[in-house]
Homo-oligomer: A and B are copies of this chain.
Amino acid sequence: MSVESARARTLSHVDPAEVPLQAALDALADPVRRSILRDLAVHDDWTRACGTFDLPVKKATASHHFSVLRAAGLIEQRDEGARRLNRLRRPEFDTAFPGLLSATIDRAD
């Protein structure tokens, strides 16, 4: 039938403007999450699925990190078949927290 091929598994996205500073900082304070964000900053297209990241954690943990990033308004996710694609919400987040993203992920360490 496929009334709508977009099952989308009920993905809830929040407006970065509604995200408390505490939540944003908690999300950015984790090195694994920053690693994800840096990767997404480079690949600004919708090409990175959750499983394509080279992370030092198991997939259950990675899934948790993506959930935190989404709840903090830092990433947007979209289902494409079995894969879940990610995008860095840089413009929206920059509007809500000017300078925070750049100060956090534009760095060597």
Contact = CB atoms under 8 A, between A and B. Distances in A.
Interface of A: 20-22, 25-26, 28-29, 31, 97-100, 102-104, 107, 109
B21 A25 contact: no
A21 B99 contact: no
Contacts of A100: 99-100, 103-104
19 contacts: A20-B109, A22-B29, A22-B31, A22-B109, A25-B25, A25-B28, A25-B29, A25-B104, A26-B29, A29-B29, A98-B99, A98-B102, A98-B103, A99-B99, A99-B100, A99-B102, A99-B103, A100-B100, A100-B103
A100 B29 CA distance: 12
